[in-house]
Amino acid sequence: MVNLKQLAKLPFKAFGSKSSKTFKPEVFDSHVMTTYGRFPLALTHGAGCRVWDDQDNEYLDFVAGIATCTLGHAHPVMVEAVTQQIQTLHHVSNLYYIPEQGALAQWLTEHSCTDRVFFCNSGAEANEAAIKLARKYGHTELGIEEPVIITAHASFHGRTLATVTATGQPKYQKNFAPLVPGFHYVTYNDIEALEGAIASLNANGPQVAAILLEALQGEGGVNPGNIQYFKRVRELCDQHKILLILDEVQVGVGRTGKLWGYENLDIEPDVITVAKGLGGGIPIGAMLCKSSCDVFQPGDHASTYGGNPFVCGVALAVCQTLESEHLMANASARGQQLRQGLLKLVDTYPHLFEQVRGWGLINGLVLKAEAPLKSLDIVKAATAQGLLLVPAGPNVIRFVPPLIVNPSEVNEALEKLTTAIKNIT
């Protein structure tokens, strides 16, 4: 059994495996489908906020698996949790009670406004579960024959057929028609557009069963929700008995400096979907809901791997570490530090940058529409300086480091980014 106290005394890199320098991209490409536009990097091991490639080049990781590696790489708590759980029990069917699943569900509900949890494997699956819940709620509670779910333009909810339809971005839907019926799109943070859509759809009787929104649009350009907008959304949902579903796949579990994104909006949703940071990189997703809208019955929904002992044991360790290491406070402080540095870049390069957006440790540096560079150009230049970043559309550079990032690493990232910008301008 791994000794946590001994691990904690070791430098992070002690956990990383040495690279073999034998990776061959052409072999990879001949066997793996080309569903990703990959950077020419083969990452082999990591420690803390750093990763190394197959040539032993070091990078400061401000991607974190796209807002997923909550505790960074090879964190002692995760090493211990993974080792202990795999030596105990890693998978059984949901035909039986799973104590680890119950413990994680209890932690999540006691730390949120929800009462019940359904476990799955990803954010897309969590949103699929929420869509099914909303449709059944519409049928059984509102008497709607063909329930409609309102979502936002520029949203992102997943890659399955239902969630890509819910996603309000045509580029993700191209060539996948016919899409799933029952979705209607409105402009994010535009309350008049939402009110108009509800009135139009409900003109001849109830049609709208749910409103599905991100607390902060991640893939849509790191676009935070407006507090007054969401308060009015909550009022409309109460008025029409509509479910308010918040997609917190990218912002949940401490990334915004608060445990949940909705805490930044001064409202409570009926349903929350979460994944990414929940397992710190171990695949897990969850749909959390209030008991008032828990209309699922045995057989309505299921997942073979969802909520197995392994993923739940690790996820619970991640959640408990958020509290014990005060990582939400760190996310808030480091996010403020990062935004201050990025704002200096906006002042230094006014012809390039427009603004900085974000909460906690999810931030976007926004390029002007007429800028001679795109976000991918700057991401590539930063990579050459040893800093990993990720675009959020063509005009936004996204910063989502592990929540354990320290002040010197934030300063280092800003220095590397500044050098990258100088080199390409």
Structural domain including 101 reads 92-307
**Claim to verify: residue 342 and residue 387 sit in the same structural domain:** yes
Are residues 295 and 332 part of one domain?
no
Evaluate if residue 4 carries a pLDDT over 70: no
Structural domain includes residue 321: no
* Percentage of the chain modeled with pLDDT above 70: 95
pLDDT band for position 23 (cuts 50, 70, 90): confident
Catalytic option among 136, 276, 290, 416: 276
Shared domain for 297 and 352, answered yes or no, is: no
pLDDT grade, residue 1 (50/70/90)? very low
User: How many percent of the chain have pLDDT more than 90?
Assistant: 93
Of 258, 278, 307, the last residue of a domain is 307
**Known catalytic residue at 156:** yes
The confidence score (pLDDT) of residue 21 equals 62
Describe the chain by its helix, strand, coil percentages, rounded to 5: 40, 20, 40
Does 410 fall in a domain? yes
Q: Is position 81 within any domain?
A: no
For residues 301 and 118, is the Cβ–Cβ distance under 8 A?
A: yes
Inside any domain, residue 314: no
247 among known catalytic residues: yes
Taking 90 as the threshold, does the pLDDT of residue 99 lie above it?
A: yes
Which tops the pLDDT comparison, 396 or 17? Answer: 396
Q: Kindly state whether residues 125 and 180 are assigned to the same domain.
A: yes
Judge whether 296 lies within some domain: yes
Q: Say if residue 169 is in the same domain as residue 241.
A: yes
Residue 273 lies in a domain: yes
Give the domain CATH number at 105: 3.40.640.10
Residues 209 and 299 in one domain: yes
Whether the pLDDT of residue 11 is over 90: the answer is no
Taking 50 as the threshold, does the pLDDT of residue 15 lie above it? no
More confident position, 142 or 23: 142
Is residue 159, in this structure, part of any structural domain at all?
yes
Residue where a domain terminates, one of 280, 307, 334: 307
Residue 349, token pair as written in the block: 């390069």
pTM, two decimal places: 0.93
Specify whether 166 is located in the same domain as 267: yes
Instruction: Calculate the average pLDDT of the chain.
Output: 94
> Which of 156, 183, 296, 399 is labelled catalytic?
156
Length of the chain: 425
124 with 235, same domain? yes
State yes or no: pLDDT of 51 exceeds 50: yes
Q: How many domains does the chain have?
A: 2
Q: Are residues 300 and 415 in the same domain?
A: no
From the candidates 61, 119, 136, 247, give the one annotated as an active-site residue: 247
Residues 136, 243 within the same domain: yes
**Which pLDDT score is estimated for 3?**
41
pLDDT tens digit sequence for 137-174: 999 999 999 999 999 999 999 999 999 999 999 999 99
Asked if 297 and 342 sit in the same domain, the reply is no
CATH number at residue 67: 3.90.1150.10
Tell me: do 124 and 211 sit in the same domain: yes
Residue 315 domain-assigned (yes or no): no
